[in-house]
Chain A
Amino acid sequence: MDTHETLPDEIQRDFTALERATKIPMEPLEMPHRTEAPSRDLRRVVLAAAVVIVIVGSFFPIDREDTVGQRISISVSGPGAANALSSASAALTDILGSDGVVYESSGTHFYSGLSSSADEGTMQRVQRVVTTLVSQGLSVQIANAGEVVRTKGPWIHPEQTRSLRIELLAEVADGRIETLRRRIDELGRNDVTLHKLETTPGAIGIEIRHANDEELPLALLLEGLGLDTGGLPEDSPLAVESLRLRTEYSGGSTAVIFEDGRQVRTLELLGDYRGRESELREAVQAQFDGLELHVDVDWVDGEWILNRR
Protein backbone atom coordinates (compact mmCIF):
# COMPACT_ATOMS: atom_id res chain seq x y z
CA MET A 1 0.00 0.00 0.00
CA ASP A 2 1.54 3.27 -1.05
CA THR A 3 0.84 6.02 1.42
CA HIS A 4 2.83 8.43 -0.70
CA GLU A 5 0.45 8.20 -3.63
CA THR A 6 -1.08 11.54 -4.43
CA LEU A 7 -4.47 12.50 -5.63
CA PRO A 8 -4.95 13.93 -9.13
CA ASP A 9 -4.23 17.64 -9.44
CA GLU A 10 -7.89 18.54 -9.82
CA ILE A 11 -8.76 16.91 -6.48
CA GLN A 12 -5.68 18.45 -4.84
CA ARG A 13 -6.86 21.87 -5.97
CA ASP A 14 -10.26 21.16 -4.44
CA PHE A 15 -8.58 20.20 -1.17
CA THR A 16 -6.76 23.51 -1.21
CA ALA A 17 -10.01 25.34 -1.87
CA LEU A 18 -11.72 23.51 1.00
CA GLU A 19 -8.80 24.40 3.21
CA ARG A 20 -9.33 28.08 2.45
CA ALA A 21 -13.11 27.85 2.75
CA THR A 22 -12.92 26.30 6.20
CA LYS A 23 -10.12 28.35 7.64
CA ILE A 24 -10.85 29.88 11.01
CA PRO A 25 -9.96 33.56 11.14
CA MET A 26 -7.06 34.34 13.45
CA GLU A 27 -9.08 35.39 16.43
CA PRO A 28 -8.88 34.78 20.13
CA LEU A 29 -10.58 31.60 21.16
CA GLU A 30 -14.25 32.09 21.88
CA MET A 31 -15.24 29.50 24.39
CA PRO A 32 -18.91 28.67 24.73
CA HIS A 33 -19.11 30.89 27.78
CA ARG A 34 -21.85 30.91 30.29
CA THR A 35 -22.57 34.07 32.16
CA GLU A 36 -21.95 32.24 35.40
CA ALA A 37 -19.68 29.41 36.31
CA PRO A 38 -20.96 26.06 35.09
CA SER A 39 -22.24 23.69 37.70
CA ARG A 40 -20.38 20.46 38.42
CA ASP A 41 -22.56 18.61 36.02
CA LEU A 42 -23.07 20.84 33.05
CA ARG A 43 -24.99 18.24 31.13
CA ARG A 44 -27.50 17.77 33.92
CA VAL A 45 -28.10 21.48 34.16
CA VAL A 46 -28.51 21.83 30.43
CA LEU A 47 -30.87 18.90 30.19
CA ALA A 48 -32.90 20.11 33.13
CA ALA A 49 -33.13 23.53 31.50
CA ALA A 50 -34.14 22.00 28.21
CA VAL A 51 -36.87 19.96 29.84
CA VAL A 52 -38.17 23.12 31.42
CA ILE A 53 -38.03 24.77 28.04
CA VAL A 54 -40.25 22.28 26.33
CA ILE A 55 -42.50 21.15 29.12
CA VAL A 56 -44.90 24.02 28.66
CA GLY A 57 -46.82 23.35 25.52
CA SER A 58 -48.36 26.65 24.66
CA PHE A 59 -45.26 28.74 24.85
CA PHE A 60 -41.58 28.16 24.90
CA PRO A 61 -39.79 30.07 27.63
CA ILE A 62 -36.07 29.64 27.39
CA ASP A 63 -33.45 30.69 29.81
CA ARG A 64 -30.70 31.94 27.62
CA GLU A 65 -28.03 31.53 30.22
CA ASP A 66 -28.76 27.86 30.60
CA THR A 67 -28.47 27.11 26.94
CA VAL A 68 -25.47 29.16 26.00
CA GLY A 69 -23.00 26.94 24.26
CA GLN A 70 -25.70 24.47 23.36
CA ARG A 71 -27.88 23.94 20.37
CA ILE A 72 -31.51 23.04 20.32
CA SER A 73 -32.49 20.78 17.47
CA ILE A 74 -35.97 20.14 16.24
CA SER A 75 -36.81 17.07 14.21
CA VAL A 76 -40.16 16.46 12.62
CA SER A 77 -41.67 13.38 11.02
CA GLY A 78 -44.99 12.08 9.82
CA PRO A 79 -47.06 11.71 6.67
CA GLY A 80 -47.02 14.94 4.72
CA ALA A 81 -44.10 16.25 6.74
CA ALA A 82 -42.06 17.08 3.68
CA ASN A 83 -44.65 19.48 2.31
CA ALA A 84 -45.48 21.04 5.66
CA LEU A 85 -41.83 21.50 6.39
CA SER A 86 -40.88 23.23 3.21
CA SER A 87 -42.85 26.23 4.45
CA ALA A 88 -41.76 25.71 8.06
CA SER A 89 -38.18 25.56 6.94
CA ALA A 90 -38.51 28.89 5.21
CA ALA A 91 -40.18 30.33 8.31
CA LEU A 92 -37.45 29.05 10.59
CA THR A 93 -34.71 30.33 8.36
CA ASP A 94 -36.41 33.68 8.35
CA ILE A 95 -36.80 33.70 12.14
CA LEU A 96 -33.33 32.46 12.93
CA GLY A 97 -31.49 34.76 10.60
CA SER A 98 -27.92 34.95 11.73
CA ASP A 99 -28.82 33.31 15.04
CA GLY A 100 -29.07 29.86 13.61
CA VAL A 101 -29.15 27.67 10.64
CA VAL A 102 -31.50 25.15 9.16
CA TYR A 103 -29.39 22.07 8.70
CA GLU A 104 -31.45 19.57 6.93
CA SER A 105 -34.66 19.21 5.05
CA SER A 106 -34.69 15.71 3.76
CA GLY A 107 -37.67 13.53 2.96
CA THR A 108 -39.95 13.36 5.93
CA HIS A 109 -37.29 14.40 8.36
CA PHE A 110 -36.22 17.79 9.34
CA TYR A 111 -33.48 19.04 11.53
CA SER A 112 -32.89 22.59 12.50
CA GLY A 113 -30.59 24.22 14.93
CA LEU A 114 -30.47 27.36 17.00
CA SER A 115 -27.19 28.85 17.93
CA SER A 116 -26.20 29.90 21.39
CA SER A 117 -27.15 33.47 20.66
CA ALA A 118 -30.84 32.69 20.17
CA ASP A 119 -32.77 34.89 22.56
CA GLU A 120 -36.10 34.37 24.20
CA GLY A 121 -38.01 36.19 21.50
CA THR A 122 -36.47 34.00 18.85
CA MET A 123 -37.33 30.87 20.77
CA GLN A 124 -40.92 31.95 21.18
CA ARG A 125 -41.23 32.52 17.46
CA VAL A 126 -39.71 29.10 16.82
CA GLN A 127 -42.15 27.59 19.26
CA ARG A 128 -45.03 28.99 17.25
CA VAL A 129 -43.71 27.17 14.19
CA VAL A 130 -43.39 23.97 16.22
CA THR A 131 -46.92 24.34 17.56
CA THR A 132 -48.18 24.77 14.02
CA LEU A 133 -46.47 21.58 12.94
CA VAL A 134 -47.93 19.62 15.86
CA SER A 135 -51.39 20.96 15.08
CA GLN A 136 -51.00 19.52 11.60
CA GLY A 137 -50.63 16.06 13.12
CA LEU A 138 -46.88 15.87 12.74
CA SER A 139 -44.49 14.53 15.34
CA VAL A 140 -41.88 16.83 16.73
CA GLN A 141 -38.82 15.84 18.66
CA ILE A 142 -36.74 18.40 20.48
CA ALA A 143 -33.18 17.75 21.53
CA ASN A 144 -30.55 19.74 23.27
CA ALA A 145 -26.99 19.12 22.09
CA GLY A 146 -28.10 15.83 20.61
CA GLU A 147 -29.90 14.56 23.69
CA VAL A 148 -33.60 14.07 23.13
CA VAL A 149 -35.49 15.99 25.75
CA ARG A 150 -39.03 16.09 24.49
CA THR A 151 -41.24 14.39 21.99
CA LYS A 152 -44.59 15.58 20.78
CA GLY A 153 -46.75 13.18 18.84
CA PRO A 154 -46.09 9.55 17.98
CA TRP A 155 -42.45 9.99 17.20
CA ILE A 156 -40.54 7.00 15.95
CA HIS A 157 -36.86 7.44 16.06
CA PRO A 158 -35.30 6.59 12.71
CA GLU A 159 -33.16 3.96 14.39
CA GLN A 160 -36.31 2.20 15.53
CA THR A 161 -37.89 2.35 12.15
CA ARG A 162 -38.55 -1.02 10.66
CA SER A 163 -36.56 -1.55 7.57
CA LEU A 164 -35.03 -4.01 5.23
CA ARG A 165 -31.92 -3.39 3.25
CA ILE A 166 -31.19 -5.24 0.09
CA GLU A 167 -28.40 -5.11 -2.37
CA LEU A 168 -29.18 -5.59 -6.03
CA LEU A 169 -26.99 -6.07 -9.03
CA ALA A 170 -26.63 -2.71 -10.72
CA GLU A 171 -27.93 -3.94 -14.05
CA VAL A 172 -31.25 -5.12 -12.63
CA ALA A 173 -31.61 -2.44 -9.98
CA ASP A 174 -33.56 0.09 -12.03
CA GLY A 175 -36.25 -2.43 -12.88
CA ARG A 176 -36.49 -3.63 -9.30
CA ILE A 177 -36.73 -0.13 -7.93
CA GLU A 178 -39.49 0.70 -10.39
CA THR A 179 -41.37 -2.42 -9.34
CA LEU A 180 -41.00 -1.48 -5.72
CA ARG A 181 -42.21 2.03 -6.32
CA ARG A 182 -45.21 0.75 -8.23
CA ARG A 183 -46.10 -1.70 -5.49
CA ILE A 184 -45.79 0.98 -2.85
CA ASP A 185 -48.18 3.18 -4.84
CA GLU A 186 -50.60 0.32 -5.41
CA LEU A 187 -50.66 -0.46 -1.73
CA GLY A 188 -51.22 3.19 -0.89
CA ARG A 189 -48.37 3.01 1.60
CA ASN A 190 -47.33 6.62 1.83
CA ASP A 191 -45.26 5.79 4.91
CA VAL A 192 -42.95 3.51 2.97
CA THR A 193 -39.87 5.16 1.55
CA LEU A 194 -36.98 3.91 -0.51
CA HIS A 195 -33.47 5.02 0.20
CA LYS A 196 -30.39 4.38 -1.79
CA LEU A 197 -27.45 3.14 0.24
CA GLU A 198 -23.76 3.45 -0.23
CA THR A 199 -22.70 0.03 -1.36
CA THR A 200 -20.16 -2.01 -3.19
CA PRO A 201 -19.27 -1.27 -6.82
CA GLY A 202 -21.52 -3.07 -9.27
CA ALA A 203 -24.36 -3.24 -6.81
CA ILE A 204 -27.12 -0.91 -5.71
CA GLY A 205 -28.21 -0.89 -2.11
CA ILE A 206 -31.78 -0.07 -1.30
CA GLU A 207 -33.45 0.35 2.02
CA ILE A 208 -37.17 -0.03 2.30
CA ARG A 209 -38.17 1.91 5.37
CA HIS A 210 -41.50 2.68 6.93
CA ALA A 211 -42.39 4.78 9.90
CA ASN A 212 -44.91 2.74 11.78
CA ASP A 213 -45.26 -0.54 13.59
CA GLU A 214 -46.97 -2.50 10.88
CA GLU A 215 -45.21 -5.37 9.22
CA LEU A 216 -43.57 -4.47 5.99
CA PRO A 217 -45.71 -5.91 3.18
CA LEU A 218 -44.41 -9.27 2.17
CA ALA A 219 -44.81 -8.47 -1.51
CA LEU A 220 -42.31 -5.64 -1.20
CA LEU A 221 -39.71 -7.91 0.31
CA LEU A 222 -40.21 -10.58 -2.29
CA GLU A 223 -40.00 -8.21 -5.18
CA GLY A 224 -37.12 -6.35 -3.64
CA LEU A 225 -35.17 -9.56 -3.46
CA GLY A 226 -36.12 -10.39 -7.02
CA LEU A 227 -38.21 -13.30 -5.88
CA ASP A 228 -41.80 -14.30 -6.13
CA THR A 229 -43.89 -16.85 -4.35
CA GLY A 230 -44.01 -18.99 -7.48
CA GLY A 231 -40.40 -20.04 -7.13
CA LEU A 232 -36.88 -18.82 -7.31
CA PRO A 233 -35.71 -17.08 -10.47
CA GLU A 234 -32.70 -18.49 -12.23
CA ASP A 235 -30.47 -15.56 -11.44
CA SER A 236 -31.15 -15.65 -7.73
CA PRO A 237 -28.28 -16.76 -5.54
CA LEU A 238 -30.91 -18.55 -3.52
CA ALA A 239 -31.53 -20.81 -6.51
CA VAL A 240 -28.42 -22.81 -5.68
CA GLU A 241 -28.52 -25.67 -3.22
CA SER A 242 -26.17 -24.29 -0.65
CA LEU A 243 -24.77 -20.88 0.05
CA ARG A 244 -22.23 -19.43 2.38
CA LEU A 245 -23.31 -16.46 4.42
CA ARG A 246 -21.11 -14.03 6.19
CA THR A 247 -21.97 -11.28 8.59
CA GLU A 248 -20.59 -7.83 9.14
CA TYR A 249 -21.41 -5.54 12.00
CA SER A 250 -21.39 -1.82 11.43
CA GLY A 251 -23.05 1.18 13.02
CA GLY A 252 -25.68 -0.62 15.04
CA SER A 253 -26.76 -3.17 12.48
CA THR A 254 -25.67 -6.56 11.28
CA ALA A 255 -25.43 -7.25 7.58
CA VAL A 256 -26.01 -10.82 6.48
CA ILE A 257 -24.29 -11.22 3.15
CA PHE A 258 -25.15 -13.98 0.72
CA GLU A 259 -22.72 -14.77 -2.01
CA ASP A 260 -22.12 -17.57 -4.40
CA GLY A 261 -19.06 -16.19 -6.11
CA ARG A 262 -21.11 -14.44 -8.77
CA GLN A 263 -23.67 -12.41 -6.92
CA VAL A 264 -23.97 -10.68 -3.61
CA ARG A 265 -27.13 -9.81 -1.76
CA THR A 266 -27.37 -8.34 1.66
CA LEU A 267 -30.00 -8.54 4.33
CA GLU A 268 -29.47 -6.10 7.12
CA LEU A 269 -30.80 -6.62 10.62
CA LEU A 270 -30.88 -3.89 13.18
CA GLY A 271 -28.90 -4.75 16.28
CA ASP A 272 -25.59 -6.23 17.24
CA TYR A 273 -25.56 -9.99 16.82
CA ARG A 274 -21.85 -10.52 17.36
CA GLY A 275 -21.31 -13.57 19.54
CA ARG A 276 -25.02 -14.35 19.50
CA GLU A 277 -25.09 -16.98 16.78
CA SER A 278 -28.25 -18.72 17.83
CA GLU A 279 -30.20 -15.47 17.97
CA LEU A 280 -28.86 -14.40 14.60
CA ARG A 281 -29.76 -17.77 13.15
CA GLU A 282 -33.31 -17.34 14.39
CA ALA A 283 -33.54 -13.81 13.04
CA VAL A 284 -32.29 -14.79 9.60
CA GLN A 285 -34.42 -17.91 9.56
CA ALA A 286 -37.45 -15.83 10.46
CA GLN A 287 -36.81 -13.58 7.47
CA PHE A 288 -36.81 -16.55 5.12
CA ASP A 289 -39.79 -18.16 6.77
CA GLY A 290 -41.60 -14.85 6.35
CA LEU A 291 -40.76 -14.95 2.69
CA GLU A 292 -42.09 -18.51 2.50
CA LEU A 293 -38.73 -19.67 1.22
CA HIS A 294 -37.78 -23.19 2.15
CA VAL A 295 -34.27 -22.85 3.44
CA ASP A 296 -32.37 -23.68 6.58
CA VAL A 297 -29.80 -21.34 8.03
CA ASP A 298 -27.12 -23.14 9.99
CA TRP A 299 -24.00 -22.24 11.88
CA VAL A 300 -21.56 -25.04 11.05
CA ASP A 301 -17.89 -25.16 11.97
CA GLY A 302 -17.66 -21.43 12.43
CA GLU A 303 -19.40 -20.70 9.17
CA TRP A 304 -22.89 -19.75 8.19
CA ILE A 305 -24.49 -22.03 5.61
CA LEU A 306 -27.83 -21.65 3.92
CA ASN A 307 -29.33 -24.85 2.55
CA ARG A 308 -32.43 -25.30 0.50
CA ARG A 309 -34.79 -27.77 2.06
Chain B
Amino acid sequence: MTEPPINLTWTRLERLLQPIHESAQSTCRRLCRNNEEGDDLFQESVLRAYDRLSSLREESSFRSWFFVILLRIHRDRSRRSFWQRFLPLEEVPAPPAVPGGGDFEEDYLRAKRLRLALGQLPTEQREALVLFEMEGFSVSEIADLQSVSPSAIKSRLSRGRSRMRDCYERWNLIDVKQADSSNTKDREHGHS
Protein backbone atom coordinates (compact mmCIF):
# COMPACT_ATOMS: atom_id res chain seq x y z
CA MET B 1 0.00 0.00 0.00
CA THR B 2 1.41 3.37 -1.02
CA GLU B 3 1.92 5.94 1.72
CA PRO B 4 0.10 9.19 1.04
CA PRO B 5 2.38 12.14 0.22
CA ILE B 6 3.35 14.34 3.14
CA ASN B 7 1.40 17.56 3.31
CA LEU B 8 3.66 20.21 4.81
CA THR B 9 0.89 22.61 5.77
CA TRP B 10 -0.92 19.86 7.59
CA THR B 11 2.25 18.76 9.34
CA ARG B 12 3.05 22.30 10.38
CA LEU B 13 -0.44 22.90 11.71
CA GLU B 14 -0.36 19.65 13.62
CA ARG B 15 2.94 20.61 15.25
CA LEU B 16 1.69 24.06 16.23
CA LEU B 17 -1.65 22.82 17.46
CA GLN B 18 -0.25 19.98 19.54
CA PRO B 19 0.58 22.02 22.68
CA ILE B 20 -2.70 23.93 22.74
CA HIS B 21 -5.28 21.59 21.31
CA GLU B 22 -6.56 20.41 24.69
CA SER B 23 -7.18 23.90 25.99
CA ALA B 24 -8.57 25.11 22.66
CA GLN B 25 -10.97 22.21 22.36
CA SER B 26 -12.03 22.60 25.99
CA THR B 27 -12.70 26.28 25.36
CA CYS B 28 -14.85 25.36 22.38
CA ARG B 29 -16.88 23.02 24.56
CA ARG B 30 -17.30 25.67 27.23
CA LEU B 31 -18.53 28.24 24.76
CA CYS B 32 -21.17 25.93 23.35
CA ARG B 33 -24.29 24.32 24.71
CA ASN B 34 -22.88 20.83 24.69
CA ASN B 35 -19.60 19.06 24.08
CA GLU B 36 -20.59 17.82 20.63
CA GLU B 37 -21.31 21.30 19.39
CA GLY B 38 -18.02 22.43 20.92
CA ASP B 39 -16.13 19.68 19.12
CA ASP B 40 -17.77 20.79 15.90
CA LEU B 41 -16.58 24.33 16.52
CA PHE B 42 -13.06 23.09 17.18
CA GLN B 43 -13.09 21.01 14.03
CA GLU B 44 -14.22 23.95 11.92
CA SER B 45 -11.54 26.14 13.53
CA VAL B 46 -8.83 23.62 12.64
CA LEU B 47 -9.98 23.51 9.04
CA ARG B 48 -10.10 27.32 8.83
CA ALA B 49 -6.62 27.47 10.37
CA TYR B 50 -5.41 25.03 7.72
CA ASP B 51 -6.78 27.26 4.98
CA ARG B 52 -5.08 30.34 6.40
CA LEU B 53 -1.89 29.00 7.87
CA SER B 54 0.19 30.76 5.26
CA SER B 55 -0.91 34.09 6.77
CA LEU B 56 0.65 33.23 10.15
CA ARG B 57 3.89 35.20 10.38
CA GLU B 58 5.17 34.47 13.88
CA GLU B 59 4.80 30.92 15.09
CA SER B 60 5.21 32.16 18.64
CA SER B 61 1.85 33.93 18.33
CA PHE B 62 0.05 30.85 17.05
CA ARG B 63 -2.07 30.47 20.19
CA SER B 64 -3.65 33.90 19.96
CA TRP B 65 -3.88 33.61 16.16
CA PHE B 66 -5.80 30.35 16.52
CA PHE B 67 -8.07 31.69 19.25
CA VAL B 68 -8.96 34.69 17.09
CA ILE B 69 -10.07 32.24 14.39
CA LEU B 70 -11.95 30.16 16.93
CA LEU B 71 -13.83 33.13 18.37
CA ARG B 72 -14.64 34.47 14.92
CA ILE B 73 -16.17 31.16 13.89
CA HIS B 74 -18.01 30.99 17.19
CA ARG B 75 -19.59 34.37 16.54
CA ASP B 76 -20.32 33.52 12.90
CA ARG B 77 -22.06 30.35 13.99
CA SER B 78 -24.06 32.23 16.61
CA ARG B 79 -25.27 34.63 13.96
CA ARG B 80 -25.73 32.03 11.26
CA SER B 81 -27.80 29.86 13.54
CA PHE B 82 -30.40 32.57 13.60
CA TRP B 83 -33.06 30.64 15.45
CA GLN B 84 -30.64 29.63 18.17
CA ARG B 85 -30.59 33.22 19.36
CA PHE B 86 -34.18 32.91 20.42
CA LEU B 87 -35.35 31.53 23.67
CA PRO B 88 -38.53 29.55 24.04
CA LEU B 89 -41.47 31.82 24.67
CA GLU B 90 -41.91 30.34 28.10
CA GLU B 91 -39.46 31.36 30.80
CA VAL B 92 -36.27 29.33 30.88
CA PRO B 93 -37.15 26.85 33.62
CA ALA B 94 -34.99 26.56 36.69
CA PRO B 95 -32.60 23.63 36.33
CA PRO B 96 -33.12 20.55 38.48
CA ALA B 97 -31.72 20.57 41.99
CA VAL B 98 -28.14 19.45 42.27
CA PRO B 99 -27.51 16.63 44.72
CA GLY B 100 -24.43 16.90 46.89
CA GLY B 101 -21.65 14.37 47.02
CA GLY B 102 -19.26 15.74 44.43
CA ASP B 103 -19.86 12.83 42.10
CA PHE B 104 -20.25 12.66 38.34
CA GLU B 105 -23.99 13.37 38.50
CA GLU B 106 -23.42 16.53 40.51
CA ASP B 107 -20.80 17.74 38.05
CA TYR B 108 -23.09 17.00 35.14
CA LEU B 109 -26.03 18.91 36.58
CA ARG B 110 -23.89 21.83 37.68
CA ALA B 111 -22.28 22.07 34.25
CA LYS B 112 -25.68 21.86 32.61
CA ARG B 113 -27.17 24.70 34.60
CA LEU B 114 -24.08 26.87 34.12
CA ARG B 115 -24.34 26.34 30.37
CA LEU B 116 -28.00 27.29 30.57
CA ALA B 117 -27.04 30.52 32.34
CA LEU B 118 -24.10 31.25 30.00
CA GLY B 119 -26.40 30.66 27.06
CA GLN B 120 -28.45 33.64 28.12
CA LEU B 121 -25.53 36.03 27.80
CA PRO B 122 -24.75 37.88 24.58
CA THR B 123 -22.06 36.03 22.62
CA GLU B 124 -19.24 38.50 23.32
CA GLN B 125 -19.98 38.56 27.07
CA ARG B 126 -20.04 34.78 27.21
CA GLU B 127 -16.72 34.60 25.41
CA ALA B 128 -15.12 37.14 27.72
CA LEU B 129 -16.38 35.40 30.84
CA VAL B 130 -15.31 31.92 29.74
CA LEU B 131 -11.87 33.10 28.62
CA PHE B 132 -11.29 35.07 31.82
CA GLU B 133 -12.85 32.80 34.42
CA MET B 134 -11.94 29.43 32.96
CA GLU B 135 -9.09 29.75 30.53
CA GLY B 136 -6.89 32.17 32.46
CA PHE B 137 -6.67 34.83 29.76
CA SER B 138 -5.96 38.34 30.99
CA VAL B 139 -8.16 41.31 30.18
CA SER B 140 -5.65 42.68 27.70
CA GLU B 141 -5.29 39.31 25.99
CA ILE B 142 -9.06 39.02 25.62
CA ALA B 143 -9.15 42.59 24.32
CA ASP B 144 -6.69 41.61 21.62
CA LEU B 145 -8.65 38.48 20.75
CA GLN B 146 -11.95 40.33 20.52
CA SER B 147 -10.39 43.43 18.90
CA VAL B 148 -11.79 45.86 21.46
CA SER B 149 -10.30 47.97 24.23
CA PRO B 150 -9.48 46.54 27.66
CA SER B 151 -12.16 48.74 29.20
CA ALA B 152 -14.75 47.18 26.90
CA ILE B 153 -13.68 43.77 28.15
CA LYS B 154 -13.94 44.93 31.77
CA SER B 155 -17.43 46.12 30.99
CA ARG B 156 -18.33 42.81 29.36
CA LEU B 157 -17.01 40.89 32.34
CA SER B 158 -18.89 43.03 34.79
CA ARG B 159 -22.15 42.83 32.87
CA GLY B 160 -21.71 39.12 32.31
CA ARG B 161 -21.15 38.45 36.00
CA SER B 162 -24.08 40.59 36.91
CA ARG B 163 -26.36 38.70 34.54
CA MET B 164 -25.08 35.39 35.86
CA ARG B 165 -25.88 36.49 39.40
CA ASP B 166 -29.35 37.63 38.33
CA CYS B 167 -29.97 34.32 36.64
CA TYR B 168 -28.88 32.25 39.64
CA GLU B 169 -30.91 34.49 41.92
CA ARG B 170 -34.00 33.92 39.78
CA TRP B 171 -33.43 30.21 40.16
CA ASN B 172 -33.14 30.69 43.93
CA LEU B 173 -29.66 29.22 43.88
CA ILE B 174 -27.96 32.17 45.51
CA ASP B 175 -28.86 34.89 47.93
CA VAL B 176 -27.60 37.98 46.16
CA LYS B 177 -27.29 40.13 49.30
CA GLN B 178 -25.07 37.52 50.84
CA ALA B 179 -23.18 36.99 47.60
CA ASP B 180 -22.59 40.70 47.05
CA SER B 181 -20.90 41.10 50.41
CA SER B 182 -18.17 38.69 49.39
CA ASN B 183 -17.97 39.82 45.82
CA THR B 184 -15.20 42.33 45.73
CA LYS B 185 -12.34 40.41 47.18
CA ASP B 186 -9.19 40.34 45.15
CA ARG B 187 -8.58 37.32 43.05
CA GLU B 188 -5.35 37.60 41.21
CA HIS B 189 -3.63 40.93 41.06
CA GLY B 190 -1.81 40.08 37.88
CA HIS B 191 -4.89 38.80 36.12
CA SER B 192 -6.25 42.04 34.79
A residues adjacent to B (C-beta < 8 A): 1-11, 13-15, 17-24, 26, 29, 31-32, 35-38, 42-43, 69-71, 101, 103-104, 106-107, 109, 111, 113, 116, 145-146, 157-159, 161, 177, 194-198, 201, 207, 251-252
- Determine whether the beta carbon of A4 is less than 8 Å from that of B114: no
Q: A21's contact among B89, B111, B165, by CB below 8 Å, is which?
A: B111
- Determine whether the beta carbon of B187 is less than 8 Å from that of A36: no
How would residues 84 to 98 of chain B score, 1 for a CB under 8 Å from any chain A CB and 0 otherwise?
111111100000000
* Closest B residue, CB atoms, query A21: B111
Q: A1-B158, A7-B164, A29-B17 are in contact. Are A18 and B83 (CB under 8 A)?
A: no
User: Would you give 30 A-B contacts (Cβ < 8 Å), ordered by A?
Assistant: A1-B151, A1-B157, A3-B154, A4-B192, A6-B184, A6-B185, A6-B187, A7-B164, A8-B168, A10-B168, A13-B110, A15-B114, A17-B108, A17-B110, A17-B114, A18-B110, A22-B35, A23-B26, A24-B21, A37-B4, A37-B7, A103-B36, A111-B81, A113-B36, A113-B40, A116-B43, A146-B76, A157-B82, A196-B86, A198-B85
- Determine whether the beta carbon of B161 is less than 8 Å from that of A24: no
* Chain A residues with CB under 8 A of B144: none
* Chain B residues with CB under 8 A of A9: 179, 182
Q: A29-B18, A207-B86 are in contact. Are A14 and B114 (CB under 8 A)?
A: yes
* Chain A residues with CB under 8 A of B40: 71, 113
* Closest A residue, CB atoms, query B75: A251
Q: How far is the CB of B60 from chain A (nearest CB, A)?
A: 19
Q: Number of residue pairs across A and B with beta carbons under 8 Å?
A: 180
A159 to B130, CA, bound (A): 28
* Chain A residues with CB under 8 A of B82: 157-159, 161
A71 to B45, CA, bound (A): 13
Q: How far is the CB of B37 from chain A (nearest CB, A)?
A: 6
- Determine whether the beta carbon of B86 is less than 8 Å from that of A18: no
- Determine whether the beta carbon of B46 is less than 8 Å from that of A32: yes
A29 to B51, CA, bound (A): 19
* Closest B residue, CB atoms, query A35: B4
Q: A5-B158, A35-B4 are in contact. Are A14 and B111 (CB under 8 A)?
A: yes
Given contacts A70-B47, A251-B85, 19 further A-B contacts (CB under 8 A): A2-B158, A3-B132, A3-B192, A7-B165, A10-B174, A18-B110, A18-B111, A20-B111, A24-B21, A24-B22, A24-B25, A36-B5, A103-B36, A106-B83, A109-B83, A196-B88, A196-B89, A197-B85, A251-B78
- Determine whether the beta carbon of B4 is less than 8 Å from that of A36: yes
B residues adjacent to A (C-beta < 8 A): 4-7, 10, 13-14, 17-18, 21-22, 25-26, 29-30, 35-38, 40, 43-44, 46-47, 50-51, 76-90, 106-108, 110-111, 113-115, 117, 120, 122, 132-134, 139, 151, 154-155, 157-158, 161, 164-166, 168, 173-174, 176, 178-179, 182-189, 191-192
A112 to B184, CA, bound (A): 43
Q: B89's contact among A42, A101, A177, A251, by CB below 8 Å, is which?
A: A177
A116 to B47, CA, bound (A): 13
Q: A14's contact among B44, B89, B113, B158, by CB below 8 Å, is which?
A: B113
* Chain A residues with CB under 8 A of B46: 31-32, 69
Q: B51's contact among A22, A31, A35, A43, by CB below 8 Å, is which?
A: A43
- Determine whether the beta carbon of A31 is less than 8 Å from that of B14: yes
- Determine whether the beta carbon of A146 is less than 8 Å from that of B77: yes
A29 to B16, CA, bound (A): 11
- Determine whether the beta carbon of A11 is less than 8 Å from that of B165: yes
The 8 closest A-B pairs by CB, nearest first: A17-B110, A8-B179, A22-B29, A21-B111, A14-B114, A158-B82, A195-B86, A3-B192
* Closest A residue, CB atoms, query B95: A14
* Chain B residues with CB under 8 A of A109: 83
A24 to B42, CA, bound (A): 12
* Chain A residues with CB under 8 A of B85: 197-198, 251
A22 to B182, CA, bound (A): 28
Q: How far is the CB of A69 from chain B (nearest CB, A)?
A: 6
A42 to B87, CA, bound (A): 36
* Closest B residue, CB atoms, query A102: B36
Q: How far is the CB of A116 from chain B (nearest CB, A)?
A: 8
- Determine whether the beta carbon of B47 is less than 8 Å from that of A17: no
* Chain B residues with CB under 8 A of A17: 106-108, 110-111, 114
